Every structure is written in C-alpha cells, then in structure tokens.
Amino acid sequence: MSDNLSTFEKFSDPELAATIASQLQAQGIGATLVNESPVFDPTFANNTFEPTIQLKLRPGDFRKARQLLEQYYQEQLAGIDPDYYLFSFSDDELLNLVRNPDEWGPLDYVLAKQILAGHGKPISPEQEVGFQVERIRTLAQPEESKRRWVVAGYVTAVFFPLVGLFLGYTMTFSKKTLPDGSHVPIYSAGDQRHGKRISILATVVLALWFWQLTGARIFS
C-alpha cells in the first residue's frame, strides 16, 4: 500500500501535520505521515524548522485533498495574526503566489486570494483553473539537459560501472510528482536515451570485469 503513496505536503510542525492528516482521514482520504528527521543529528543543529514530516496520499486523492485543505484553512482565516507576513506583500507578489501555490502552503494560498479580493482584485474560478493548468504544464517540463553530466555518465560507466549503472538508471526512470498527483519523467527524452545507453555500457563493463576475474581464477 505504502508503495503507491506520494508526498502531498511537508511539515515541520508534528501537531499541524497530525491535524491535517486527521482532517483528511475524516473525509475518507487515506493519509499517512512519515517523519524523515534523522534519529541522530551529527551537526547538533537540531533544526526544528526543516520540513521533515511528509504527508503521503494516493495520487488520485491529491485534488480532493487540496480542496479539503483549502476549505479547512478558509475557516482559520479569521484567527490570522494581523502581522502575518503576507499582509505586507504587494498585489503582484500575491498574484505570483496564487500562480505558484506549490511553492507555498495551502494557508498562504487561501489567504493571498482573500487579500487580493479585499484589494478589489478577486481571482475568479476560471482564472484559478487557468493558473493551475498553466502551473502543471510548467512543472511537467523536463529539467534542462546538462551536457557535462551526460558526458560524466559515460565516463563513470567505463571506470566506475556500478556508479554508472546507478546514474543511467536514474536518468532513465526518475519521475517527479506534480501537484495534481500525476507523475512525469524528470529528464528529457534525449537524456533518457543517454541514460539507457549509459546503463548498457556500465552493464557490459561490469560483465567484462566479472569475466576477467572469474577467468583468471579458472586458469590460475
């Protein structure tokens, strides 16, 4: 079951994470919390602000969960501190937040829309859908190809084939989760082809190494 879950949100506050998970579970959404904070911090920094608690859901529940979270935070807006940092944002900054909600949190997203409405610049449902479609299209674009990394992959496959095999596999099969729960490749089709070739090259080199080692033992 856990293998089919994807990270929906990240939190640094355990209580808030538990509250959100409970809200979603009450609406029939299977929410699981995973705390990835290290048991021992070698830096002794004890950074409690790093979002290490992951809220995981089935990708098909992402849309419904986001709607439920927005409803939940809508009910919390009356208690927002007047000094909350979004109140100092310009309208352009607030609009940019609404266009890129995945870079913020559901509370900021809901509050930004309310502030804009209070400034006489409400976001219509049609605009909201358009922003979401545009954002998904942007995030779905593969990462820009870095030629030096491709070259490094081929070199690594020859001299460090185990590492090369890992790099090739990563380039070929790595995917990212979009805000709507869908999964798309991280790397471009061209980089994926390079990844396959790097994997094949690394496998051949490993086979040759193994043959040399075993052959030397047999004939020694």
Compute the CA torsion angle 77, 81, 85, 90 (nearest 10 deg).
60
> What pLDDT score was predicted for residue 39?
47
> What pLDDT score was predicted for residue 44?
43
For residue 43, with 0-12 CB atoms within 10 Å meaning exposed, 13-18 middle and 19 or more buried, which class applies? Answer: exposed
> What pLDDT score was predicted for residue 38?
53
For residue 165, with 0-12 CB atoms within 10 Å meaning exposed, 13-18 middle and 19 or more buried, which class applies? Answer: buried
For residue 61, with 0-12 CB atoms within 10 Å meaning exposed, 13-18 middle and 19 or more buried, which class applies? Answer: buried
> What pLDDT score was predicted for residue 42?
44
> What pLDDT score was predicted for residue 193?
95
Per-residue pLDDT of the chain (220 residues; tens, 9 = 90+): 455 889 898 888 899 889 899 989 999 999 999 987 654 444 444 444 566 799 999 999 999 999 998 988 998 898 899 999 999 999 999 999 999 998 888 899 999 999 999 999 999 999 999 999 999 999 999 988 788 889 999 999 999 999 999 999 999 999 998 988 899 999 999 999 999 999 999 999 999 988 888 865 655 5
Cβ atoms of residues 171 and 198 within 8 Å: yes
> What pLDDT score was predicted for residue 64?
92
Which of 158, 172, 171 has its CA nearest to residue 203? 158
The residue assigned the tokens 């949100």 is 9
Phi and psi, residue 50, nearest 5°: -75, 125
Residue ranges of domains in the chain: 1-59, 76-139, 147-219
Largest distance between two CA atoms of the chain: 86
Distance (Å, rounded) from C-alpha 219 to C-alpha 78? Answer: 81
Query: Exposure string (b/e) for 81-109, b if CB count within 10 Å is 16 or more?
Result: eeeeebeebeeeebbebbbbbeeebbbbb
> What pLDDT score was predicted for residue 45?
46
> What pLDDT score was predicted for residue 36?
76
CA-to-CA separations, 166 to 59, 149, 198, 202, 205, in angstroms, rounded:
26, 13, 9, 9, 14
Cβ atoms of residues 143 and 150 within 8 Å: no
> What pLDDT score was predicted for residue 110?
95
